[in-house]
């Protein structure tokens, strides 16, 4: 198969779906995973196929080690190659809790899904990418981690989420350093407040904050905003920038007086 293949975790909804759409438009075939049964993602999968992509959906929770192995095996069986990994799948705390009251159970869940899962999925995929690179010098790989402005912006009612995303940022640097010799760039895309099912419950709150000047660009971000940034990295538009952080936050994190 000559087309490049991208695995987008959590690629059937929200930010992940926006990323998958942009990659499909750029001519990549797609493997996407999530925790829903296949029937629940039939519509987004059909939309991606309508953009010209072959689409493989695997029901797999990235927090589960055996599911990660099964996911990579399914991609190998279907496509025989993997050029791009986008670590996007993540969860927020349920419920949010002040760090004086937060539980170890919530902390462990977020670390498993948001940090440990993508870290070890990257390990598995990177080994395969190295094999492909050694077999074919023309092989062009890329790994993109989706973090959050919560990497550096403290929210004391979801400390577990902030810590998990800060870990993703360091993981990006670690993998960039380790995979440089194999010419496999690793990037971090750091979204701000993005309109998705994860933020739907806070719509009123952020609508008001945008009116008060929360971000320099006074609007919600969209999954497509994130997808366009990922697509540029995957195309190789930033080929000499491994380890780079791309902000997609409308200027929210710029310090202002």
Nearest to 33 by CA among 53, 59, 6: 59
In Å, how far from its chain's centre is CA 145?
5
Catalytic residue among 57, 161, 206, 240: 161
Instruction: Round to whole Å and give the CA distance between 229 and 100.
Output: 36
Which residue is associated with the tokens 């499909």?
24
Q: C-alpha dihedral over 91, 94, 99, 104, to 10 degrees?
A: -80
206 is annotated as an active-site residue: no
Token digits for 19? 């990323």
Name the strands in the sheet holding 84-87, side by side, starting at the edge strand that comes first in the sequence: 55-59, 29-34, 5-9, 84-87, 142-146, 186-191, 245-248
Nearest to 31 by CA among 110, 69, 86: 86
CB-count burial class (<10 Å; 0-12, 13-18, 19+) for 209: middle
* Enzyme catalytic residues: 161
């Amino acid at each position: 198969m000559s087309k490049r293949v991208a695995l987008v975790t959590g690629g059937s909804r929200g930010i992940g779906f926006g990323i998958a759409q942009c990659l499909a438009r750029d001519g990549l075939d797609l493997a996407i995973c999530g925790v829903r049964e296949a029937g629940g993602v039939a519509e987004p999968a059909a939309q991606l196929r309508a953009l010209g992509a072959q689409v493989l959906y695997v029901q797999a929770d990235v927090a589960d080690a055996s599911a990660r192995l099964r996911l990579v095996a399914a991609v190998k069986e279907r496509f025989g190659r993997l050029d791009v990994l986008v670590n996007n799948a993540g969860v927020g705390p349920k419920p949010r809790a002040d760090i004086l009251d937060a539980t170890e159970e919530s902390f462990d869940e977020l670390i498993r899904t948001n940090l440990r899962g993508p870290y070890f999925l990257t390990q598995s995929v990177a080994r395969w990418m190295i094999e492909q690179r050694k077999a074919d010098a023309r092989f062009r790989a890329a790994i993109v981690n989706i973090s959050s402005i919560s990497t550096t912006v403290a929210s004391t009612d979801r400390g577990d989420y902030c810590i998990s995303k800060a870990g993703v940022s360091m993981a990006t640097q670690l993998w960039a350093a380790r995979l440089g010799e194999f010419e496999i760039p690793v990037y971090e895309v750091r979204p701000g407040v993005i309109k998705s099912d994860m933020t739907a419950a806070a719509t009123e709150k952020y609508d008001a904050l945008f009116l008060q000047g929360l971000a320099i660009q006074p609007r919600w971000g969209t999954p497509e905003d994130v997808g366009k940034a990922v697509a540029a990295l995957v195309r190789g538009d930033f080929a000499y920038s491994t380890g780079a952080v791309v902000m997609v936050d409308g200027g929210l994190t710029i310090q202002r007086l």
